[in-house]
Amino acid sequence: MAWPQELTMLSKVRRKCRVEYWLAALLLAAAAAMLAYAGVTLLAAPFPALSPWRLPLAFLAAAAVAVVMWRVQPGDLEIARRLDKDLASEERVQTLVENRQGQSPMLQQLRRETADYFRRRQPRYRWDKKRFFAPALLSGAAAVILILSIVFSPHLAQSIAQRREVLEQQQEAAEQIEEIIELLPENPLGEELAAQLEDLLEQVYSLTAPGEFETLLREALELLESEREQAAAIESALEELLAAMNMPPEELAEALGDPEFAAQLAEAMNNLAETLPGGMDLASALKELAANPSAAEASHWQQIIEQLEELDPSAYRENLQQAVRAAEEMCACEENSEGEGEGEGSGKGEGEGSGEGEGEGSGEGEGSGEGEGEGEGGGNSEGGSSGSNGGEGFGSGTADPSPSSYVYIPGQGEVILSGEGEPGEYTLRELIPNNPGLVDDYTEFFSGYRRQALSRLNRSPIPRPLADFVRSYFEAIAPQGGK
């Protein structure tokens, strides 16, 4: 409907009122767009397919707000009320707008009086700052949320991807361990191993770092290998015991009257009991028998023999061998444990050489160094001689070791020194050629240490962060390339 003619002097303030409304609406639309953009940006982290929809959805949100604001925009009457309030016109404007169609003398008088009123008082529009407060606050908050979403969404996406990867790895590792458990032969000897593997399976779902899965699988593989070695030891001890007991139980009971045979049999039983898993009843029964073998009756020996025959460690070992092979095939760690390592080294050395020869010839020696930070090298030597036959020469050289290269060698064994150095001036590398038994292969004792440590972790109530720390430690000191 048209604005009453008598209120044309208010057209300017009316227009400003509308402008004020649409400015506030613009802020709201901007806030909606920013919120939509931020929301879709955050959603795009787990659902990357949404990423291209950010801008269209932001525009859509802004358009929706604009449409809503258009639909609820103030009409003439609302503006009239607002102007009455702002201009303190004692409800003249709204009364006139409400009755714009009326023609009664009173309304005509009202129109004249209202026109006079605004002629006397020039209407001035006061911007309602409060109207902008909420939209501005909302827009500011939306802008902050937008910035935060843009900054953090890559991190969020990365975190979600990592989480997915961890879940997948958890699932994969769990499946692999379950498969290993299924491969285990049904044998009393394998109960403890199965329990240990079940423990590992439970641990899978608490692992988060990718390296931990590899460690866990390697641990499972090592458990199998250890169990295989253990099974071999059991087989050997069992063969020894059965060989000693190779007679009917009655005769066995009588033969135990011989103290020497009894001692031999006790030793064989103790050996087997030592190799059997600690939790087995048979192990404790063997130990009891070994303490006083002559006290047992023939029927008891019969039971023991039957139990020993049930063990069947050779079959168990063969099955374990198959399980290990299968596990090695499925484990990614297999590659690492048997892979090649890479290393770089440089050497620098000075040497002196001497040559001997007969006839004519030339001698040449060559050395190469490898290592980290150690001065080691070969020296070239040439020995000139004269003769009809070719000569042969050799040379050796030593480099000056740094003080950090000195190694204290514990033990009481004799160490063969060579060369010109005094005791206490040799490097380990210099000693090893003449003393091959001086050090063990790192890979051998490392795996033993780690197995023991991880086995203890599985059986003991150690806090999770501490257990992780131990695992990380062994991960860090794991041999690289077999060195």
Partner 1 sequence: MNLELIEKLSGVKEEIGRAMVGQKEVIDLTLTALLAGGHVLLEGVPGLGKTLLARTLARVLDISYNRIQFTPDLMPSDITGTNLILTGRDDFQFRPGPIFASLVLADEINRATPKTQSALLESMQEGKVTVFGETRDLPRPFFVIATQNPLEMEGTYPLPEAQLDRFLFKVLVPYPSLEELREIVNLTTGTAQAELEPVMTGAEILEVNRLAREVPVADKVLEYALKILVSTHPESPSATPMVKEYVQVGASPRGIQSIILAARVTALLEGRFNVSFADVEKVCVPALRHRLFLNFEALGGGINPDAIIAEILDATERG
Rounded least distance, CB 4 to partner 1, Å: 13
- Beta pairing, strands 351-356 & 384-385: unpaired
Instruction: Provide, rounded to whole angstroms, the least separation between the CB of residue 137 and partner 1.
Output: 23
Hey, what are 99's tokens? 């009755």
CB 453 within 8 A of CB 468: no
Nearest CA to 469 out of 480, 481, 453 is that of 453
77 versus 136: smaller Cβ distance to partner 1: 77
Phi, psi (rounded to 5 degrees) for 184: -65, 135
Measured from the CB atom, is 35 or 96 closer to partner 1? 96
Nearer to partner 1, 94 or 203 (CB): 94
CA distance 397 to 381: 9
367 and 379 Cβ atoms separated by less than 8 Å: yes
Amino acid identity, residue 295? A
- Sequence-distant (6+) residues with CB within 8 A of 59 are 33
Nearer to partner 1, 17 or 224 (CB): 17
List Cβ neighbours of 26 (8 Å cut-off, separation of 6 or more): none
Closer residue to partner 1 (CB): 104 or 404: 104
- We find the least distance from the C-beta atom of residue 132 to partner 1, in angstroms, to be 21
Between 104 and 122, CB nearer to partner 1: 104
CB of 81 to partner 1, least distance (A): 6
CB of 80 to partner 1, least distance (A): 9
Kindly state the smallest distance separating residue 67's Cβ from partner 1, in Å.
Answer: 27
The number of angstroms, rounded, from the C-alpha of 214 to the middle of its chain's C-alpha atoms is: 9
Closer Cβ to partner 1, 106 or 416, answer by number: 106
- Least distance to partner 1 from the beta carbon of 110, Å? 4
- The secondary structure element, H or E, covering residue 424 is none
**Residue 382: which of 404, 405, 356 has the closest Cα?**
356
Nearer to partner 1, 102 or 373 (CB): 102
- Distance, CA of 415 to CA of 409 (rounded, Å): 9
Query: What does the alpha-carbon distance between residue 400 and residue 411 come to, in Å, rounded to a whole number?
Result: 26
CB of residue 93 to partner 1, shortest distance in Å: 9
Which lies closer to partner 1 via its Cβ, residue 116 or residue 297? 116
Report the interface residues with partner 1, using CB under 8 A: 81, 85, 90-92, 94-96, 98-99, 102, 104-110, 113
Tokens of 432: 């090893």
SS (H, E, C) 95-149: HHHHCCCCCCHHHHHHHHHHHHHHHHCCCCCCCCHHHHHHHHHHHHHHHHHHHHH
Residue 99 C-beta: closest distance to partner 1, Å: 5
Structure tokens at 359: 């006839």
Rg (CA), the chain: 46
CB of 159 to partner 1, least distance (A): 51
Q: What is the rounded CA–CA span in Å between residue 123 and residue 277?
A: 101
- Least distance from partner 1 to the Cβ atom of residue 77, Å: 8
How many CA within 13 A on the CB side of residue 129? 0
Closest CA to 235 of 148, 135, 319: 319
Nearer to partner 1, 30 or 97 (CB): 97
Q: Are strands 384-385 and 361-362 parallel, antiparallel or unpaired?
A: antiparallel
| Main-chain phi, psi angles of 427, to 5 degrees | -90, 160
The closest of 114, 207, 224, 103 to 162, measured between CA atoms, is: 207
93 or 145, CB closer to partner 1? 93
Question: 73 or 108, CB closer to partner 1?
Answer: 108
Q: In the complex, what is the shortest distance from the CB of residue 24 to partner 1, in angstroms, rounded to a whole number?
A: 20
